[in-house]
Amino acid sequence: MGPIAVRTGDFRLAYRVLAELKRRGVRCIQLLPSDPLPPGVSAWLAAPAEVVMSNDAAGIPATIDTFHLAVERAVLRMTHQGPIRSLMFGIDPGPRPGVAWVGDGIFLGKKQFEEVDGVVDRVIDIAETIDYENLVIRVGNGSKTIANRIINTCMARSLNVERVDETRTSVGVPRHAHSSAALRIAHLPGNAVKEKQRVRPTNGEIRDIQRRSRKVSGGRATIPSELARAVAMGRLTIHDAIRDHIGDGSTSSPFFVER
């Protein structure tokens, strides 16, 4: 397949799109809006107005806020022709969930997110860039409380969701390689979930959140168990819980970024 072209007069957008394509090892070229497309170009990206004015079906609109999704569409067009019959997302649950997606058995992409909240919405965003017939989201069971929260969110969005035995995904995967574990989850058939799951944090999960609170706050605070339970259930973020515990009401506390 030919390269992907970045063909826009918005140089800030061009810089970000080219950097993302190069990071992923995708062949790419940069063109001015007035330049003709070379033969064999798989797709080209530009600002939405530039794509509309071109009246070219190969153009993919991108903005500073959506260029990651535009790149997903371009890479998919480069590697997979026609609609995908079966699109599978695997999610490795945890405080920093890993996500991977596979179309008709072909690897399409993977990513690690920094927060649990919003991960299902990001999956939906990615899926909307892909022409598919059937979508299934497979969630590992390694962190039961977080897995149940993700499953319940999927069900609230009317998505087909399966629970996968995650013990079969860990062999040969580094401890923190969540997106690689997610890829194995995406390939494994699971059990369809039809009922809302009960979210009940374990004592071990609560202690782990308390440990993380010390790390996130730079050693300033260890949140009490009731706040840790609220974090585990998704009622508070860990940063909000730390602020509630410290009681200074400040939104600019110098918390460390969690690694």
Q: Is residue 253 part of a domain?
A: no
Closest CA to 176 of 136, 125, 142: 142
Cβ pair 60, 108 in contact under 8 A = no
| In the block, residue with structure tokens 């202690």 | 207
Q: Which residues lie closer than 8 Å to 254 by C-beta, 6 or more apart?
A: 218
The helix (run of H) or strand (run of E) holding residue 56 is none
Cα separation, 114 vs 117, in Å, equals 9
Task: State pTM to two decimals.
Answer: 0.66
Domain span at 8: 4-79
Same domain, 185 and 220: no
Cα separation, 118 vs 116, in Å, equals 6
Q: Could you tell me whether strands 28-31 and 59-61 are parallel, antiparallel, or unpaired per DSSP bridges?
A: unpaired
pLDDT tens by residue, the chain, 259 residues: 678 999 999 999 999 999 999 988 888 999 999 899 888 888 899 999 999 998 888 899 999 988 888 888 888 877 766 678 899 999 999 888 999 999 888 888 888 888 888 899 999 988 988 888 999 999 998 888 899 999 999 999 999 999 998 775 555 445 457 788 899 999 999 999 999 998 888 888 889 889 988 888 888 889 999 898 888 888 888 888 898 888 754 444 444 444 4
Q: Is residue 252 part of a domain?
A: no
Closest CA to 43 of 28, 24, 22: 28
Residue that terminates a domain, selected from 79, 108, 136 = 79
Q: Could you tell me whether strands 132-140 and 106-112 are parallel, antiparallel, or unpaired per DSSP bridges?
A: unpaired
The enclosing domain of 166 has a CATH number of: 3.30.420.140
Cβ pair 134, 85 in contact under 8 A = yes
Same domain, 95 and 64: no
Same domain, 242 and 158: no
Phi, psi of 207 (to 5 degrees): -65, -35
